[in-house]
Amino acid sequence: MGATIAVELLARNNIRIEKVILDAAFCVKMGVLTPIYTSIFCWTIQKIKSGKTIPAIMIECVMGKGNYGIVNTFYKNVEIQSIRNACRDIYRYEISGKIADFSGEVTFWYGSNEHYPRKTVGLLIRHLPQMRVEVFEGMGHGQLLNEHPEEYVQRMKDIMN
């Protein structure tokens, strides 16, 4: 969700940003499916918080294939109302055309097993033709950071230096 916030900050253009990494931004409007996806996501987070098993297919649909470690990393201490609020906003988010005014360097990262960030690339590239895209083969959401933190940090340093 943080990368989607960064997309909005770029569009507002109120702060000076020279380089940015958008790690799996989610900017795909869900339309009438918003309440359904929100309910499913909240139900899943509640199961995580209570230590119950999540069906693998559900994890893979949202977080990417083979990304089961993410369950232990995220969401255990978050309030369900916070998740509901975040889903409401993110599933309805619309990219502002003002983002085209951003002239800094943009790098978009996502795992090859992530569906919605891939769609976001198609939406953003229309406004940000300078955007460089890096796809991490065989990875899901947050998987590079979770399983290979040293590589993640090195890649960040390489871009930001």
Model pLDDT, residue 51: 82
Higher local confidence (pLDDT), 36 or 70: 36
Model pLDDT, residue 72: 65
What confidence tens digit (pLDDT) does each residue in 75-123 have? 777 899 999 999 999 999 999 999 999 999 999 999 998 889 999 999 9
- Per-residue tokens: 39: 């309910």
From start to end of the chain, where are the E strands? 19-23, 105-111, 132-136
The letter for the amino acid at 6 is A
Give DSSP secondary structure letters for 82-93. HHHHHHHHHTT-
**Above 80 in pLDDT, residue 10?**
yes
How many other C-beta atoms can be found within 10 angstroms of the C-beta atom of residue 28? Answer: 19
Q: What is the pTM of this model?
A: 0.89
Query: Binning pLDDT at 50, 70 and 90, where does residue 48 land?
Result: confident
Domains along the sequence of the chain with CATH:
2-160 (3.40.50.1820)
Are 39 and 130 in contact by the 8 Å Cβ rule? The answer is no
Query: What is the CA 100 to chain-centroid distance, rounded?
Result: 20
Model pLDDT, residue 62: 67
